[in-house]
């Protein structure tokens, strides 16, 4: 892949499993926060799966739509759009009812110095949405940041690991989960809390940041020496298919790739592909923010895109000077400040 068009097409390519599952999802699907990093590609993937399944579900995307041209782009794919500030109660209540909701709204970067807005988005808004959509199935995007750091050799935190988030962003994510969980119990709303660690495409993500550092001869900090990643197309598929496994009380699911990836190893792989010796600083800590996704793989199978395939694609993207979003992950952060 060497162009945004090729990348967008790949991200929107549904698997046979997704097409099969779409046929079992009854009714309209509302995407709240569709304007974020993952929302547009998820919406297009969903629309393609519906078309290929011969289904008739409406897809409705709500967002502020601050990115110029995004709303028109989605509508051209057959996705209905609604410009909406979800924190505005009147606008929230005016949204249509839908039996299926994927909740992607939230705030991470810029939390430090604007903590109150992050808490409003991540912990107050969920209660308003949970009340309005009490009769829907809801997949709630969350984060592996709710977990404590775990030993590198442990396999990572699984869904039974007690949350212990580092920093206000992670704490607010736990707040989001607890509020949705509360209303799931109160109203018997079927939900799935989707704890994601580091989705990537070629324009952003952990691998792009490592590859760009290798290419630019910049030192790569190894203090957070390990991470989990998953191709955004696979992460989006899992989010959509999760509508079929929502439960009341809310179910929790870790979503990421199967590997505990060494940052050093990944940098060396990029070094081989780019013909540049990586530069390192620091030493690997014996723990990291790691997410054990074995339950996810049991439910939905392993991701279609392998780690080495992602490395190959990102290396090629960097070599040709592919476009980037300038949205760093801050995966190296060990004090929870975003």
Are 215 and 274 in contact by the 8 Å Cβ rule? The answer is: yes
Over residues 74-102, mean pLDDT = 97
Please list the residues that pair with 151 across neighbouring strands: 287
For the entire predicted model, the pTM comes to: 0.96
pLDDT at 2 over 90: no
Confidence of residue 259 (pLDDT cuts 50, 70, 90): very high
Could you tell me the pLDDT band of residue 338, with boundaries at 50, 70 and 90?
Answer: confident
Residues 76 and 70: their CA atoms lie apart, in Å, by 10
pLDDT, tens digit, for every residue of 170-219? 999 999 999 999 999 999 999 999 999 999 999 999 999 999 999 999 99
* pLDDT reported for residue 158: 98
Question: Which residues are registered as beta bridge partners of 227?
Answer: 261
pLDDT digits 0-9 by tens, 269-296: 999 999 999 999 999 999 999 999 999 9
Could you write out the DSSP letters of every residue in 95-130? SPP-SEEEE-----TT-TT-HHHHHIIIIIHHHHHH
d(CA 57, CA 34): 17
Q: What angle do CA 126, 132, 136 make, to 5 degrees?
A: 95
Residue 108 confidence (pLDDT): 80
The pair phi, psi for residue 16, each rounded to 5°, is -60, -35
For the stretch 21-49, pLDDT in tens is 999 999 999 999 999 999 999 999 999 99
Treating both helix axes as pointing N-terminal to C-terminal, what angle do 232-241 and 4-11 enclose, rounded to 10 degrees? 30
Using 50, 70 and 90 to split pLDDT, how confident is the model at 261? very high
d(C-alpha 193, C-alpha 178), whole Å: 10
Mean pLDDT score of the chain: 96
The full DSSP string for 288-311 is E--B--HHHHHHH-S-SS-HHHHH
């Amino acid at each position: 892949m060497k162009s945004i068009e090729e990348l967008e097409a790949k991200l929107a390519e549904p698997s046979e499993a997704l097409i099969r599952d779409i046929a079992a999802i009854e009714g309209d699907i509302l995407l709240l926060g569709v304007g974020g990093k993952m929302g547009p590609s998820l919406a297009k993937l969903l629309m393609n799966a519906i078309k290929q399944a011969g289904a008739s579900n409406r897809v409705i995307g709500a967002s502020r739509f601050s990115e110029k041209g995004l709303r028109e782009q989605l509508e051209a794919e057959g996705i209905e759009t609604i410009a909406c500030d979800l924190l505005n109660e009147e606008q929230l209540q005016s949204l249509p009812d839908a039996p299926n909701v994927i909740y992607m709204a939230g705030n991470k970067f810029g939390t430090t110095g604007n903590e109150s807005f992050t808490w409003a988005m991540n912990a107050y808004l969920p209660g308003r949405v949970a009340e309005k959509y009490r009769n829907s199935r809801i997949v709630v995007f969350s984060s592996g940041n709710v977990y404590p750091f775990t030993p590198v050799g442990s396999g990572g935190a699984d869904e039974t690991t007690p949350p212990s988030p580092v920093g206000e962003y992670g704490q607010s994510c736990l707040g989001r989960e607890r509020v949705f969980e509360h209303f799931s119990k109160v109203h018997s709303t079927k939900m799935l809390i989707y704890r994601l660690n580091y989705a990537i495409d070629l324009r952003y993500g952990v691998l792009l940041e490592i590859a760009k550092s290798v290419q630019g001869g910049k030192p790569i900090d190894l203090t957070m020496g390990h991470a989990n990643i998953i191709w955004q197309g696979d992460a989006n598929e899992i989010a959509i298919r999760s509508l079929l496994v929502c439960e009341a009380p809310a179910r929790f699911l870790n979503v990421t790739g199967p590997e505990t990836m060494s940052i050093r190893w990944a940098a060396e792989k990029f070094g081989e592909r780019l013909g540049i010796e990586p530069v390192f600083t620091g030493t690997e800590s014996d723990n990291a923010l790691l997410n054990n996704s074995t339950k996810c793989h049991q439910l939905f199978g392993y991701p279609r895109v392998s780690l080495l395939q992602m490395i190959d694609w990102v290396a090629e993207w960097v070599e040709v000077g592919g476009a980037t979003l300038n949205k760093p992950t801050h995966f190296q952060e060990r004090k929870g400040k975003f």
